Structures are given as structure tokens and as C-alpha cells.
Amino acid sequence: MLASPLSTGGAGFAYEFQAAAVVLSKLLAGAHCLGLPVPVARVAMQQRSRGYLLDDVVVYGDLVDPCPWIEFQVKRSLRPTAGTPEFVEVIGQALRSLAGHTVEFDLGDALLGIIAAEPRNGLVELRELARCCSSHTRYTTFAEALLQERVLDKETRERFDDVRETVAAAIAQGAPSFGTAAETAHRLLSVLRVWPLPVGESDDLAAAVDNLVDLGDVAGVTPLAVFSHLVTLAEGWGPSAGVVDAPMVRRQLRWRGLRFGRGRNEHRIVESKLTPSHVARCLPWSWTRIWRMPRGFLLRAMSRVPRSLRGLRMSLRAGGICRMRRSFVAARRRRATPSAMLTPRPAAAQIWPGNIWS
């Protein structure tokens, strides 16, 4: 009997690793992920053993207490119609996860997500439906305002009927409910984020590769090569339920031969990470390193530091001013002193004493 190569060739696993690599690129760039209001801090894979029922990819935001997260179920193909076994299974797991973390979902610290490639039209309609449900606290106001003709298009309204019937089927199989099937469907959709991530070339893949441009420049490779390494790393971390952060990913890339030494784009990479939530972690520098940085970079870095970190702002500003003054004094010395009398200063004389970060 003939079989599709997609089903026998592991296309679903390959797509899952590609989706994980896209999220890892956001982690390295300090970018935001769908559903999180803060940059990505950690990425976890296959977290069923830790209680995440949508376990394929779990993304944590960069906050300490509480730490927001969104858990994604990754499917290469997921048809969001009533009676589809895969859709019933995903909805059932989502309802169980919603019931297990009710407090976190009510506070807005947790979200559910679906990453799928096809069919795109159905996924886009589901995404729009979830966006509308998240704007209403109760199902009654949602139904009165939107589930009417000439308010939402026919396809989106029919998509809600599909979700309602799927929720009823999942409840019949033992999933928890939050009232009627319609109320449960609204409750679920209000915390659901749908990410239609196409296979192969797409805007999402292009954005992921763009996030790796600076990293690739420093390592001397193309950003697409860095992305390929991320896919391979995801293949190894998935079976072991890996939980990684940006420093760990960089260490693994370095072990694979990508050297992120000091280069012409080093300051640009660090500057892209200077958000208020990252700045205290991204600037563990001594006065020596601050003094040697370009003045323009120091002033731009100072503008990104929150006013609450007054000492750090003063340090960066002092470094920028001293950098300018040092260049000015050196230029005057060159003009006023014969070339034979110019002797280089010892390296120790250029180092400011102490380390303000220790």
C-alpha cells in the first residue's frame, strides 16, 4: 500500500524542530514571542513530565516573580473543524491545562498556544476568533456583540460552531468544563493564541534569520547557518526535555565551532539587548571596557537604562564623556609634542582602578 512521504518521513518532527528554532532565534535576539509582553528568557521543549499538557514548546518571559509563560502544541497539520480527532485531542489537553492552572490563567501569567502550518485559512480564522474572545470577559457579551450576521464574517462564526462542537466532544471524553459548551469554548479561546507558521520560506522564517544576522557576522557565518545549528540543537534538546536560556545556547553554538569573539559588530549585538529588563544582566563591565567603547554607543546605551538605575546611567555617561575627553587630549598631545618624544603609555595606566560591578 502506498503512503505519503510526509507521514512516513518524519515531517511532523522536522516541523516541530523548525518551530523551536524560530523561538530560539527570538531568545538569542532578546525579542518578543507571540503572547508574551516581555522578551523571551527561557525556552523549554517536551515538558509533559513537568505538568505542561501542551508540551511541545514552552516559552518563558523575562520576569522573575511571577514568570509568565505560554505553552504551545506544535502540529504540522491541524484542521480546526468539528469531528477532527487531532483537534479534539488538542482541545481536550488545553481544557485540562486550563483547569490545572486556573489561578495563573486568571491573573494573566499563563497562555495556551497552537503552532501549525496548514490549513492556513482555517488557522487564520481561529486566530481571529481567539482575538475576539479575548476582548470579552463573558460569553454573553461576546455572543450579543459579535455572533450575529454582518458583524463577523460567516466563516469566523462557523468556526466558533466548530470549536463549540469540538469542546463538547472533548468534554464527553472526560475533559473538564466551565459551564455550557459555548461558555467553555469562549473561556478557552480567550486564553488561546494561534500562530500559523508556514513550512519552508515565510515571513516568520525570514524574521528568525534576521534575528541572527549580528550573531552570524561576529562568528563569520551566514545567519541561515546559525539557524540550521539551532534546528540541530532543538533535535537534541527535545527528547531530553531541555530548558535553555541565551547563554546556554551561545555556549552550545560555540562548542559547534561558532566563535563569538570581539568583532566589529560586538557593540551592536550588546546594544540590541539593552532593554530595561536586561540591562543589569547585560552590562557586567569594568571601567576599562566602558572606557574603550565608542562614545555614541555609550550614550545610546545610557538612554535605554531606566532612571531607577541611577548609578549605571552615571557610569555610562561618565564613560562616554571620558572617551571623548581622552580622544581630545590625545589629539592635542600629537599636535604639541614632537613625534620622537611620544611614547605609548603603559597599559596599566589606562585602566581605572576598581570594578564598579563587583
Q: What is the pLDDT of residues 47-62, one digit of tens each?
A: 999 889 998 999 999 8
Q: What is the pLDDT of residue 333?
A: 56
Asked if the model's pLDDT at residue 206 lies above 70, the reply is yes
User: Which residue did the predictor score with more confidence, 347 or 334?
Assistant: 334
Please state, in angstroms and rounded to a whole number, the distance separating the CA atoms of residues 193 and 134.
10
Contact predicate 308/277, CB 8 Å: no
Asked if the model's pLDDT at residue 140 lies above 70, the reply is yes
User: Which residue did the predictor score with more confidence, 165 or 278?
Assistant: 165
Strands (E), the chain: 40-45, 57-61, 69-77, 110-118, 192-196, 243-245
Asked if the model's pLDDT at residue 7 lies above 60, the reply is no
Q: What is the pLDDT of residue 330?
A: 55
Residue 63 confidence class, pLDDT cut points 50, 70, 90 = confident
Q: What is the pLDDT of residue 147?
A: 82
Q: What is the pLDDT of residue 311?
A: 55
Give the residue-averaged pLDDT of 201-208: 88
Q: What is the pLDDT of residue 259?
A: 76
3-state secondary structure of 219: helix
Give the residue-averaged pLDDT of 158-166: 93
Range among 12-16, 152-156, 178-182 rated most confident: 178-182
Average pLDDT value over all residues in the chain: 78
Kind of pairing, strands 69-77 and 57-61?
antiparallel
Contact predicate 98/112, CB 8 Å: yes
Residue 354 confidence class, pLDDT cut points 50, 70, 90 = very low
CB 47: neighbour CB atoms within 10 A? 19
* Exposure letters 28-43 (e unless 16+ CB within 10 A, then b): bbbbebbbbebbbbbb
Model confidence pLDDT, tens digit, residues 72-126: 999 999 999 988 999 999 999 999 999 999 999 988 899 999 999 989 999 999 9
Give the residue-averaged pLDDT of 9-19: 81
3-state secondary structure of 282: helix
